[in-house]
């Protein structure tokens, strides 16, 4: 029993119908021939007008990029150089633009 929980209360045998000695009524079962699935319903008016879903497109076969670890070292070095040169050109372009603005204010 956990903290703060009350113990379960026992049922009163006088209230229980089986305790009085009355037998439990037998359940009636249907014959196997009578058992059948429920009838199918016709589609609703809203569902009848909707067109069927279009067929799915098959997945496209796209070539995955080559993982960097499988690339030759020379290609990795060249790609790093290309990235570094691009960053330096961006910085130089920004600096040239700032210098041009300052010179234009003085003139």
The mean of the pLDDT values for the chain is: 76
pLDDT on residue 82: 97
- 15 burial (CB, 10 Å; 0-12 / 13-18 / 19+) is exposed
- Concatenating the DSSP letter of every residue in 25-57 gives PPPP---TTT--PPPPPPPPHHHHHSPPPPPPP
Mean pLDDT computed over 72-100? 95
Instruction: Say yes or no to pLDDT of 87 above 80.
Output: yes
8-59 pLDDT, tens per residue? 777 766 565 555 556 666 766 666 666 676 666 665 655 566 677 788 888 7
Q: What span, in angstroms and rounded, lies between the C-alpha atoms of 48 and 86?
A: 60
Question: Which whole number is the average pLDDT over 78-98?
Answer: 96
Supply the pLDDT for residue 94: 96
Sign of torsion, CA 43 46 49 53? Answer: negative
- Can you read off the two tokens belonging to residue 96? 């040239």
Which pLDDT value is given to residue 56? 82
- Cα–Cα distance measured from residue 75 to residue 69, given in angstroms and rounded to the nearest whole number: 11
Q: What is the pTM of this model?
A: 0.34
For residue 101, CA distances in Å to 56, 62, 89, 94 come to: 56, 47, 18, 11
């Amino acid at each position: 029993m956990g903290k703060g929980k009350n113990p379960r209360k026992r049922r009163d045998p006088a209230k229980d119908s089986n305790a009085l000695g009355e037998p439990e009524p037998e359940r009636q079962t249907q014959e196997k021939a009578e058992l059948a699935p429920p009838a199918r319903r016709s589609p609703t008016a809203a569902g009848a007008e909707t067109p069927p879903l279009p067929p799915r497109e098959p997945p496209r076969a796209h070539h995955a990029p080559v993982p960097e670890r499988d690339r030759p070292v020379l290609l990795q070095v060249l790609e790093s150089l290309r990235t570094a040169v691009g960053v330096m050109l961006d910085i130089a372009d920004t600096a040239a633009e700032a210098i041009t603005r300052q010179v234009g204010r003085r003139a």
